[in-house]
Structure 1
C-alpha cells in the first residue's frame, strides 16, 4: 500500500511543500542564503544577503494532470514486468553466448515473460480507456460519461416527481376525499 493511499489530499498537498522550494520560499531564500542564519539576523552580523543565491529548484505547477490511481497502478505493474522481461532476455542471451545449460530454460521463460509483458502493456491501455469512459474526460465535451450522468440525473428527477405525486395521492386518499366534485 503506497503512501499516497494512506494520505488524504490535504496531507499530500502539505507534504509536497516539505523539502521543495515554492515561489514564496524562493523569495525568502534570496533574502536568507545561509540556512544557519535567519534573514533578520543578517543586520546583526553586519552582512548583506547575497543577491546571487538561488534555491536548487522551484516547484512549478504540473503541466499534465496526474494519472488516475487504477491507471497508475497498472502502469507501474507493467513497467516492473517489462523490466524483469528485459533482464531475463539479457540473461538468456548471455547464457547462450556462454554455452550454459541455463540458456534453454531462460529462453523459454523469456518467451513467457514477453507474453505477460505484452498483456501488462495492454492492461494499462484498457484500464485507461475504462476509467475515461466511466469517469469522463474533462477536455472532451461529448464525453460518454457526461451523457450517462445526465441521463441518470434525469431518471432520478423523474423518480422523485412520481414519488411526490404518489405521496399527494396517498394524502388525499387518507383524508377521506373520494372525488373532486
Structure 2
C-alpha cells in the first residue's frame, strides 16, 4: 500500500493549530445554540465571540497553505522539467 510522506514540521504545526482553533470555534457555536434555546443573556456575547473565532479559524486554515507553500519554495521543489515539458519542447523544435 502506498504511504504518504510525512508533512514537514512547520506545516504539521500549522495544521494542529488550525484543528484546535476549529474545534474551539465549533464548541462555541454549540454553546451559542444552547444559550439561545435556553433564552440566556450570554447568547449574544458568545455569538460575537464565535464570529471572531470563525475569522481566526479561517486565518489558521490559510496559514497552513501559506506555510506549506513557503516550505516548498525553500526546501521541497526540485527544478526538473517534466517529460511532458520535454516532449512539447521537442515538438516545437522540429517545426
Fold match by TM threshold 0.5:
yes
How high is the TM-score relative to the length of structure 1?
0.42
Task: Give unpaired runs (5+ residues) of structure 2.
Answer: 82-95
Structure 1 stretches of 4+ moved >6 Å: none
1:92-107 superposed matches below 5 A: 92-107=32-47
Cross-structure match for 2:70: 130
The answer for the alignment partner of 1:84 in structure 2 is 24
Shift of residue 137, structure 1, vs aligned partner = 3.1
Partner in structure 2 of residue 112 of structure 1 = 52
- Matched pairs, number: 81
| TM-score calculated relative to the size of structure 2 | 0.79
| Higher Rg of the two aligned structures | 1
Shift of 1:141: 2.7
Over the aligned positions, Cα root-mean-square deviation in angstroms equals: 1.6
Q: CA deviation at 1:94?
A: 1.0
Shift of 1:113: 0.2
